[in-house]
């Protein structure tokens, strides 16, 4: 088995992962593993932008207040202030790397063309057209390619974390586990090109693997978003926090050929209204802010209108804007809609909610530190306390930039203890054979995602959660047996992870006996008085750490 030795191993090639690598790679060796191409990440799909206080009429206090209100009492205010306060620095950092944010015309006074999105009281969203994430990803991949100390390994899917506690249980003497608790010392990964299982040995591992929207049948996320990092951390026994708070983006394009295409919240920021099939505006009945209410409110309103009327979708109406304006402000969205026969300047745009962002994740500090030594987490995979029960639009890119830098500064300032890196055992294939039942994997994939959409979606009930728990629990054991019996392949690894993430979401939702933010249950429709985090760390029976 190939064992690769690096100072740092970063899992994920989105904004958090690549920026972490750039910071850490200045004086040390870094391996970035990503399971498809480097460009395949949630970051690449981000349209809106990065929220930061940049205008004279705006203030940090206003941004903090908007974030706390959206978070429905679950944000950590100290964390919010820390990250919001670093906004201008985050913007400057991206610009120094080569990102060009869209500017206003000189006739309009020049400066940043700041957008406004749901939940924001001011225009404070910097963007690069309507493909901000794609532009960020392109810039960072170029900088990583130029960095002599960074290796980007594509088509390499992380399987599990390697910890000293697990090694000691395998009879490997590490000289570490008994002294300061279990440490993370590397990962196993599948080389998708050769089919080999390899290992990375590194004293510091950074989880930046993004979210898990593919746990749901309908999502705005790309196919790679299967919650791998959260699942690996859970199997290693780390605390996972607030997984019931899944943000459903209110406006994904509803079209049979439009695979999860997101219509940015910035469209509503430029005056688009939400209307029903009779062109009647309805959001004012749910919130005084109308279409610019926070995402949880808008998504629930659309969901309720669809259920009340039996309509398959609702609509965005931005026909008051000219075609020239829309083509300039939203070139990608306008062109994509037009490709499906929808002219935004003349037609209503059909939309439906879809799973979008995980506010929960691996419990981590702003500096990325987790409960396990040697393991750090930043970006969507981490739960820092910024988002609380509902993420404020465009705060995710802000968090990724700030936390990647804070993590790198902390790691560099805190040298790893001196210890000899332990030997890594070869991967044990046992009696595993090549799979001849791919249809089982496909069936279980569909069953997990359909179950989550039907029973653990935008609005929940105790009965729905109980049904989901039984079905996912049975599937989890079936998937575990399949994982043991057959040689490792990407589909089974991803299925194993989405089943684990599904179980975390269900268990966390059952623990929250109230409706708050993104967690809405008909059995407990009122929010409680006190903030209560949901923490789970014990993986289900059978699917233990490195069971393969």
More confident residue, 80 or 432: 80
Indicate whether 430 pLDDT > 80.
Answer: no
- pLDDT attached to residue 179: 53
H/E element, 184: strand 184-191
Task: Strands of 373-447 (E only): list them.
Answer: 375-377, 382-383
Q: Does residue 406 have an active-site annotation? A: no
Contact status, residue 124 vs residue 54, Cβ threshold 8 Å: yes
- Tokens standing for residue 408: 């790198």
- pLDDT attached to residue 98: 96
Helical ranges in 158-242 per DSSP H: 164-169, 177-180, 228-235
> What is the pLDDT confidence band of residue 547, given thresholds at 50, 70 and 90?
very low
For the chain, the domains span 261-353, 438-520
**DSSP-derived 3-state class of residue 304:** helix
- pLDDT attached to residue 117: 86
How many other CB atoms sit within 10 Å of the CB of residue 117? 25
Per residue in 257-283, pLDDT tens?
887 788 988 899 899 999 999 999 999
Report how far residue 245's alpha carbon sits from residue 352's, in angstroms, rounded to the nearest whole number.
19
Report how far residue 449's alpha carbon sits from residue 227's, in angstroms, rounded to the nearest whole number.
13
Indicate whether 56 pLDDT > 90.
Answer: yes
**With the CA atoms of 133, 457, 305 and 389 taken in that order, what torsion angle do they form, in degrees rounded to the nearest 10?**
-60
Angle CA 474–478–481, to nearest 5: 145
| Mean pLDDT, the chain, whole residue set | 91
> What is the pLDDT confidence band of residue 515, given thresholds at 50, 70 and 90?
very high
- pLDDT attached to residue 95: 97
Burial class of 288 by CB neighbour count within 10 A (0 to 12, 13 to 18, 19+): exposed
Spatial CA neighbour of 63 closest among 91, 98, 101: 91
> What is the pLDDT confidence band of residue 548, given thresholds at 50, 70 and 90?
very low
Contacts of the segment 309-312: beta carbons below 8 A, 24+ positions apart: 309/276, 309/277, 311/276, 311/277, 312/254, 312/352
The region of weakest confidence among 103-117, 174-188, 306-320, 333-347 is 174-188
Per residue in 114-162, pLDDT tens?
988 888 999 999 999 888 989 999 999 999 999 999 999 999 999 999 9
**DSSP-derived 3-state class of residue 269:** helix
- pLDDT attached to residue 541: 52
Angle CA 354–359–364, to nearest 5: 150
Helix axes 87-97, 132-146, angle to 10 degrees: 60
- pLDDT attached to residue 540: 60
Contact status, residue 315 vs residue 307, Cβ threshold 8 Å: no
Report how far residue 498's alpha carbon sits from residue 226's, in angstroms, rounded to the nearest whole number.
6
More confident residue, 420 or 319: 319
Q: What is the CATH number of domain 438-520?
A: 1.20.58.100
Burial class of 147 by CB neighbour count within 10 A (0 to 12, 13 to 18, 19+): middle
Spatial CA neighbour of 137 closest among 225, 219, 47, 204: 47
- pLDDT attached to residue 411: 94
Report how far residue 380's alpha carbon sits from residue 400's, in angstroms, rounded to the nearest whole number.
8
Contact status, residue 286 vs residue 293, Cβ threshold 8 Å: yes
- pLDDT attached to residue 481: 85
More confident residue, 141 or 41: 141
H/E element, 350: strand 349-358
Indicate whether 37 pLDDT > 90.
Answer: no
- pLDDT attached to residue 447: 95
Of the candidates 201, 268, 295, 516, the residue annotated as catalytic is 295
- pLDDT attached to residue 512: 96
Per residue in 519-544, pLDDT tens?
999 999 999 988 899 999 877 654 55
- pLDDT attached to residue 178: 53
DSSP code, position 392: P
Counting residues of the chain whose pLDDT is more than 70, the rounded percentage is 97
Counting residues of the chain whose pLDDT is more than 90, the rounded percentage is 74
How many other CB atoms sit within 10 Å of the CB of residue 96? 8
Report the half-sphere exposure of 426 (CA within 13 A, side-chain side).
5
Report how far residue 455's alpha carbon sits from residue 536's, in angstroms, rounded to the nearest whole number.
20
Contact status, residue 380 vs residue 361, Cβ threshold 8 Å: yes
- pLDDT attached to residue 409: 95
Pick the CATH number of 261-353 from 3.30.1330.60, 3.30.43.10, 3.20.20.390, 3.90.700.10: 3.90.700.10
């Amino acid at each position: 088995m190939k064992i690769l030795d690096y100072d740092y191993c970063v899992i994920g090639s989105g904004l958090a992962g690549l920026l972490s690598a750039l910071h850490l790679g200045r004086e040390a060796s870094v391996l970035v593993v990503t399971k498809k191409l480097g460009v395949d990440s949630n970051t690449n799909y981000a349209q809106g932008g990065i929220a930061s206080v940049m205008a004279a009429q705006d203030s940090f206090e206003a941004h903090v207040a908007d974030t706390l209100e959206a978070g429905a009492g679950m944000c950590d205010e100290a964390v919010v202030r820390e990250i919001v306060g670093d906004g201008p620095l985050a913007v400057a950092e991206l610009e120094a790397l080569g990102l060009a944010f869209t500017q206003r015309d000189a006739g309009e006074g020049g400066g940043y063309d700041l957008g406004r999105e749901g939940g924001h009281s001011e225009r404070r969203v910097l963007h690069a057209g309507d493909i901000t994430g794609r532009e960020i990803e392109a810039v960072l991949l170029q900088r990583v390619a130029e960095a002599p100390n960074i290796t980007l390994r594509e088509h390499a899917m992380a399987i599990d974390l390697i910890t000293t506690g697990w090694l000691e249980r395998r009879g490997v003497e590490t000289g570490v586990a008994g002294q300061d608790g279990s440490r993370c010392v590397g990962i196993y990964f599948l080389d998708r090109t050769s089919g080999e299982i390899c290992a990375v040995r590194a004293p510091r591992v950074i989880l930046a693997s993004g979210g898990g929207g593919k746990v749901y049948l309908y999502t705005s996320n790309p196919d790679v978003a299967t919650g791998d990092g959260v699942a690996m951390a859970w199997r290693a026994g780390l605390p996972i926090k607030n997984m019931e708070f899944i943000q459903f983006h209110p406006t994904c394009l509803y079209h049979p050929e439009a695979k999860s295409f997101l219509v940015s919240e910035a469209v509503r920021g430029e005056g688009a209204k939400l209307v029903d099939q009779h062109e009647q505006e309805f959001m004012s009945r749910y919130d005084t802010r109308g279409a610019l209410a926070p995402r949880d409110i808008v998504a629930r309103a659309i969901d309720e209108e669809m259920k009340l009327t039996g309509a398959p979708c609702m609509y965005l109406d931005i026909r008051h804007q000219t075609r020239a304006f829309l083509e300039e402000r939203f070139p990608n969205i306008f062109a994509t809609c037009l490709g499906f026969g929808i002219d935004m300047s003349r037609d209503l745009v059909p939309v439906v909610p879809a799973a979008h962002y995980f506010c929960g994740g691996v419990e981590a500090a702003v500096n990325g530190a987790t409960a396990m030594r040697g393991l750090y987490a930043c970006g969507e995979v981490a739960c820092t306390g910024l988002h609380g029960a509902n993420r404020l639009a465009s705060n995710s890119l802000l968090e990724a930039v700030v936390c990647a830098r804070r993590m790198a500064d902390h790691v560099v300032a805190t040298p790893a203890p001196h210890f000899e890196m332990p030997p890594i055992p070869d991967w044990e294939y046992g009696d595993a054979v090549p799979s001849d039942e791919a249809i089982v994997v496909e069936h279980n994939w569909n069953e997990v995602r359909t179950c989550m959409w039907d029973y653990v979606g935008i609005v929940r009930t105790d009965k729905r959660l109980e049904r989901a728990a039984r079905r996912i629990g049975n599937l989890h054991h079936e998937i575990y047996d399949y994982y043991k019996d057959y040689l490792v392949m990407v589909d089974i690894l991803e299925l194993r992870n989405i089943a684990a993430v599904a179980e975390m979401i269900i268990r966390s939702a059952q623990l929250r006996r109230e409706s708050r933010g993104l967690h809405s249950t008909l059995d407990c429709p009122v929010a409680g008085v006190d903030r209560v985090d949901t923490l789970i760390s014990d993986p289900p029976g059978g699917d233990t750490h490195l069971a393969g």
